[in-house]
Structure 1
Amino acid sequence: MTILVCAVLVLVAVTGTVVVTTRDPKAQAVTLSVYGLVLALLFFALQAPDVALSQIAVGSALVPLMVLLAVRTVGKGVGKGRDAK
């Protein structure tokens, strides 16, 4: 069991690094979703299936969706200044 947990921890570290080094916000939202799934796998390996299910719902679906919506909202207002009428 310890080898499995160590392997998943390494996978969490790798996917976390990929999320941080990704520059495009849309691609970062996708990698953030993958990171949430890997964290859910870690929680499942640590025998916490309720936390894993919560992580799948929140970390893999809701947070990337909120990031994409924020990027879309900010992208609409890029060409407009505050003083534009």
Structure 2
Amino acid sequence: MQTFTYLLMGFLVICAVSVSFSKNLLNSILIFMSYSLVMSIIWILLESPDLAITEAAVGAGVTSVLFFVTLKKIHAIRREDDENDGKE
């Protein structure tokens, strides 16, 4: 079980570093979501289910949805048709 915990901790560090080096905003949000989900698993392993549920709901759920809506509003997420029209 300790090996699994160390593996999750390593994944957290990798997620934290890769978010800071990611150039694409959408990828950063997806990495942030995975960070929150792994953190909620760690909270379960630490026998704190109330924090795990909160982390999963707020960290991976609500915050990520707000980030997606923000990217859509500022037109950072475009459809493939829009990108192909500019190239032709």
Which stretch has the larger CA shift, 30-39 or 5-14?
5-14
Q: Distance between the aligned counterparts of 2:33 and 2:67, measured in 1?
A: 10
Distance 1:2 1:17 in 2: 23
Gaps of at least 5 residues in structure 2 are 77-88
- Between the aligned partners of 1:46 and 1:34, the Cα distance in structure 2 is 18
Distance 2:9 2:26 in 1: 25
Q: Which runs of 4+ in 1 moved over 6 A?
A: none
- Give the fraction of aligned pairs with identical amino acids, expressed as a percent: 16
Q: TM-score, normalised by structure 2?
A: 0.72
Higher relative contact order, structure no. (Cα contacts within 8 Å, ≥ 6 residues apart): 1
Aligned residues: 76
**CA RMSD, 1 decimal:** 1.8
TM (norm. structure 1) is 0.74
